[in-house]
Structure 1
Amino acid sequence: MAMTPTRRTIGSARDVAEAAFKSATAKTAPKLPEAAPAAKSPALPNAKELVSLRLDREVLEHFQKDGPGWQERVNAALRKAAGL
């Protein structure tokens, strides 16, 4: 008695390929934390934040006239103005 191989039919090759593609590219919704913190504190103490700021040309020239370190001088002036 010769045994004939049995084939399981799960659909056409195209259907199988489409199902594999969909499972591989399916987007899942990210898990949200139960309670998100209101504001993140910097990981390092005294960490600086990169921002974009528009200043008048004269103000920028004032702080840059003494050379390197002008960004620290702007930060110090803003801290003083903010009362920090």
Structure 2
Amino acid sequence: MKSDLGRVDAHQVQPSEYDELPELTGDMLARGVVKRAGRPLATNPRRQVTIRLPESVLAAWKASGPGWQTRMAELLGERAP
């Protein structure tokens, strides 16, 4: 960073500095927009569950490489009643 954070942290705001700020009006508040942070809500959200599988089945899925959980979920979704 190019900022002198020590100097910024040490600064004490003086009452005269508030004179530089515009008065907050109702019109300003009406124009304000609240934005949610983070990821958008999923259309089909995931839910954590516990399932017992044979070690050989789990080892085979893990051996298939990264993304094995997603592939398993897709296969289970295709076979769902």
User: Under TM normalisation by the shorter chain, which class is it?
Assistant: 0.3 to 0.5
- TM-score of the aligned structures, taking structure 2 as reference length: 0.44
- TM-score of the aligned structures, taking structure 1 as reference length: 0.42
More helix by share: 2
- Larger Rg, first or second structure (1 or 2): 1
